[in-house]
Amino acid sequence: MSSPAPPASLTRASVEAAHALIKPHIHDTPVLTNTTLTNLANTRQAPEALQRTQWEGQEPAHPRVKLFFKCENLQRIGAFKVRGAFHAVTRLIEKEGLEQALALAAKTFSIPAHIVMPSISTPSKIAGTRAQNANIHFSGSTSTEREAVVADVIKDTGATLIPPYDHPHIILGQGTMALEIQDQVDELLASGEKLDAVIAPCGGGGMLSGIAVALHGTGVRVFGAEPSFQGGDDARRGVEAGERVTSVKTLTIADGLRTPLGHHTWNIISNKDYVQALYAVTEQNIKDAMKLVLERMKCFVEPSAVVGLATILYNEDFRNMVQREAGDKTWNIGVVFSGGNTTIEAITKIFAEVPEDRAERQEGVLGRDGRRVAENVAG
């Protein structure tokens, strides 16, 4: 099934223009390397590690890679989303008229911000949004409940709706990190070497789409990573089926990736000229990768941030693809750490999860109407 081309405004030149606009308001986050994690990625998985997986009985892959970590966990408000928010608000100001990120951008430009958040949002994200003096409006966790609250807020305040990810301004803003990754990695590499690929988490797809637009035509391959728990890999499944998945019901620990692709992000991500492939990882893969980052890199990251690294380390489809396409060459891969919006308490709970906790996640959580739900739709 062919995919429509992205709108004409979504180009590398547009990303460069967005970067020029927002650069005074964002951090130029560092790119780090780590010998231990690169060595692990270059080591075959043990055959027993593939038992009870779809790769059981296969010869473990032996890719050759060097990893470069773009640390958006060190970005303002602790996540990449500030890029898209600042770009959207800047464009809004020019025309007169994302949670913590949108609140910060609005605060910077003295614009009132009304943020609609599910009542089951993590305490750290609620506190972070409130710290930016935003007006928080809580909704239930279903799309119907959320849209009803959004409609009421717009009616009462006359506010302009800025979707969290499915908007060209957001996509272009998020894509600015790809320009930085490319320059930073090329500076770190020896003469004649260059960045070969970037892998990034995929939830609603704003960041992955932006990266794909920014790197289109450069020869740098772009890949997406998702959690597989309870069908959280909606983008991968949708691309495989040739049809966008419009609703996701998952309580993966990668809570920032619990949303499906929107119309704009689908058009980009489903186009293999922009995103070459998507891969999924398990909850245990995410935990293992997060533990490595915390202990070996001393980086404070949230579960959503490490799905790309988990894919490189544990997804044999990805590892075999790299081995096959790179051949004897070592691939230089940019790995996006999308954010660090979590708490010590949340991390402790993740690594000490008891069967009762997992059972609750399997069932879902209570919405405002008392039903157990875990439903998200594109926005």
Structure tokens at 71: 């640390």
Query: Which overall architecture, per CATH, does domain 80-165 show?
Result: 3-Layer(aba) Sandwich (3.40)
The answer to whether 12-77+167-363+373-377 and 80-165 have equal CATH topology is yes
With beta carbons less than 8 A apart as the criterion, state whether 267 and 167 touch.
no
Instruction: Tell me how far apart the alpha carbons of residues 260 and 99 are, in angstroms, rounded to a whole number.
Output: 17
Instruction: Tell me how far apart the alpha carbons of residues 142 and 118 are, in angstroms, rounded to a whole number.
Output: 8
Instruction: Tell me how far apart the alpha carbons of residues 260 and 269 are, in angstroms, rounded to a whole number.
Output: 12
Domain positions in the chain: 12-77+167-363+373-377, 80-165
Instruction: Tell me how far apart the alpha carbons of residues 207 and 224 are, in angstroms, rounded to a whole number.
Output: 10
Residue that is written with structure tokens 């293992």 in the block: 288
pTM here is 0.84
The confidence score (pLDDT) of residue 7 equals 56
The confidence score (pLDDT) of residue 91 equals 81
Q: Note down pLDDT in tens along the chain; length 379 residues.
A: 344 455 558 999 999 999 999 999 999 999 999 999 999 999 999 999 999 999 999 999 999 999 999 999 999 989 999 999 899 888 876 644 345 555 656 666 666 778 888 887 777 778 877 887 778 999 886 667 877 888 898 888 887 777 778 899 999 999 999 999 999 999 999 888 999 999 999 999 999 999 999 999 999 999 999 999 999 999 999 999 999 999 998 999 999 999 999 999 999 999 999 999 999 999 999 999 999 999 999 999 999 999 999 999 999 999 999 999 999 999 999 999 999 999 999 999 999 866 556 656 565 544 444 444 555 655 5
The confidence score (pLDDT) of residue 1 equals 39
Torsion of CA 82, 85, 334, 242, to 10 degrees: 140
Query: Which overall architecture, per CATH, does domain 12-77+167-363+373-377 show?
Result: 3-Layer(aba) Sandwich (3.40)
The confidence score (pLDDT) of residue 369 equals 42
The confidence score (pLDDT) of residue 372 equals 42
Instruction: Tell me how far apart the alpha carbons of residues 235 and 204 are, in angstroms, rounded to a whole number.
Output: 9
Instruction: Tell me how far apart the alpha carbons of residues 376 and 379 are, in angstroms, rounded to a whole number.
Output: 9
Three-state secondary structure string covering the chain: CCCCCCCCCCCHHHHHHHHHHHHHHCCCCCEECCHHHHHHHCCCCCHHHHCCCCCCCCCCCCCCEEEEEEEHHHCHHHECHHHHHHHHHHHHHHCCCCCHHHHHHHHHCCCCCEEEEECCCCHHHHHHHHCCCCEEEEECCCHHHHHHHHHHHHHHHCCCCCCCCCCHHHHHHHHHHHHHHHHHHHHHCCCCCCCCEEEEECCCCHHHHHHHHHHCCCCCEEEEEEECHHHCCHHHHHHHHCCCCCEEECCCCCHHHCCCCCHHHHHHHCCCCCCCEEEEECHHHHHHHHHHHHHHHCCCCCHHHHHHHHHHHHCHHHHHHHHHHHCCCCEEEEEEECECCCCHHHHHHHHCCCHHHHHHHHHCEECCCCCEECEEECC
Instruction: Tell me how far apart the alpha carbons of residues 92 and 169 are, in angstroms, rounded to a whole number.
Output: 9
